[in-house]
């Protein structure tokens, strides 16, 4: 196991992002918590607890040799599939707004699709590191790569959660990309995936409505209108912490998918630049660590996690600013949520372990 120091700039930037997230969750949720009969700081305390638990998990995992996770690459995929399946069982899975995506742990809820993201990356990274030829031969590629991915995605779509499905595809697809898979072998699956995506859009009228609204073909989206209002009224320097107006039930679930709108309203353009700069630094630093990783598994895992992080950031901010159609995707480390933030911190643990003792001037083997 590596005994050197972890990459402190990477860790510090992560902690700053998480710290800003906790503060913004408090600001965004204090009014909604109060009118729902709870104390104004209830959600803030929950988010703080989840962040603390996440940091503890990250620190513990940063002390474990990252190669250890390769032993359990099949197990984590089996567990992910099992959790995704049982969440569909009435009485076990928690149903909210016609979606069954959560497991009730009594003290909180857990979203198995969050675990599936990291499980898929570990599985692919280990498989390709051990059997490089699996991405070159059509038969093994279908059996060991596409079948597990297709199964996981199919279960996630049934929940339904198209955004989680896209995140899983990006994470696992990232491993394939960084492993150098040939486009020729991927092309049939890309074509099938696009057809399936179009079919899912057409099958659910509300998804198609969102897309039509985005194209300006029908009606208007209340959430996006309020989100843009929050971003626009924030100006250069913002209204100040706690002084935003959208939290007063104008923009529902402000502490979740639209937390970036709250940042823009209260801290303005400057605040947005700071947040984006922090994310950009973490992602850049992560890719630097990946490049210096001493083995293929570390390189594939770290690169793919950073790609997934970048994807989630871009989608969340893209939705909030009306650049892309509305889809439910949290802003990493900032949006309210227990399973999401704990899994995110856990994903960073092996990366910090890889960074221990790494010579930044040494090229990846």
Give per-residue pLDDT as tens, 264-287: 999 999 999 999 999 999 999 999
When pLDDT is cut at 50, 70 and 90, the band that residue 351 belongs to is very high
| Phi, then psi, of 83 in degrees rounded to 5 | -65, -40
Q: What is the pLDDT of residues 249-260, one digit of tens each?
A: 788 878 888 999
Q: Which of 80, 72, 86 is nearest to 152 (CA)?
A: 80
Q: What is the pLDDT of residue 365?
A: 40
Based on C-alpha coordinates, what's the Rg of the chain?
Answer: 21
Asked if residue 324 has pLDDT above 90, the reply is no
Q: What is the pLDDT of residue 1?
A: 45
Q: What is the pLDDT of residue 104?
A: 76
**Domain definitions of the chain by residue range:** 8-355
Residue pair 320/258 in contact (Cβ under 8 Å)? The answer is: yes
Average pLDDT in the 243-250 region? 86
Asked if residue 364 has pLDDT above 50, the reply is no
Q: What is the pLDDT of residues 204-218, one digit of tens each?
A: 766 777 766 666 665
| pTM for the full predicted model | 0.92
Mean of all residue pLDDT scores within the chain: 88
Asked if residue 95 has pLDDT above 70, the reply is yes
Q: What is the pLDDT of residue 219?
A: 57
The sign of the dihedral angle between the CA atoms of 268, 273, 255, 11 is negative
**Residue 344 DSSP label:** H
């Amino acid at each position: 196991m590596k005994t050197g120091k972890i990459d402190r700039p990477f860790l510090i930037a992560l902690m700053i992002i998480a710290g800003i997230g906790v503060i913004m969750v408090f600001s965004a949720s204090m009014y909604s918590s109060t009118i729902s009969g709870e104390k104004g700081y209830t959600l803030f305390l929950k988010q703080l607890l989840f962040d603390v638990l996440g940091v503890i998990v990250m620190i513990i995992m940063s002390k474990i040799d990252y190669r250890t996770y390769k032993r359990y690459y099949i197990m984590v995929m089996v567990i992910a599939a099992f959790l995704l399946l049982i969440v569909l069982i009435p009485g076990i899975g928690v149903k909210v707004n016609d979606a069954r995506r959560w497991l009730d742990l009594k003290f909180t809820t857990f979203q198995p699709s969050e675990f599936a993201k990291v499980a898929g990356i570990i599985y692919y990274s280990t498989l390709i590191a051990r059997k490089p030829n699996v991405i070159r031969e059509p038969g093994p590629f279908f059996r060991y790569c596409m079948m597990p991915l297709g199964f996981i995605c199919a279960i996630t779509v049934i929940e339904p959660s198209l955004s989680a499905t896209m995140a899983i595809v990006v994470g696992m697809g990232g491993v394939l990309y960084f492993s150098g898979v040939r486009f020729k072998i991927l092309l049939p699956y890309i074509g099938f995936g696009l057809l399936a995506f179009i079919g899912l859009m057409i099958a659910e009228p509300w998804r198609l409505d969102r897309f039509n609204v985005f194209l300006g073909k029908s009606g208007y989206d209340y959430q996006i209108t309020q989100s843009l209002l929050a971003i626009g009224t924030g100006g250069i320097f913002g209204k100040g912490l706690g002084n935003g107006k959208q939290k007063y039930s104008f923009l529902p679930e402000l502490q979740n998918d639209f937390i970036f709108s709250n940042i823009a309203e209260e801290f303005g353009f400057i605040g947005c630049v700071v947040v984006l700069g922090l994310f950009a630094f973490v992602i850049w630093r992560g890719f630097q660590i990946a490049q210096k990783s001493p083995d293929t598994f570390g390189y594939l895992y770290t690169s793919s996690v950073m790609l997934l992080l970048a994807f989630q950031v871009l989608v969340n901010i893209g939705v909030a600013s009306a650049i892309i159609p509305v889809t439910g995707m949290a802003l990493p480390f900032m949006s309210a949520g227990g399973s999401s933030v704990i899994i995110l911190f856990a994903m960073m643990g092996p990366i910090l372990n890889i960074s221990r003792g790494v010579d930044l001037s040494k090229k990846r083997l």
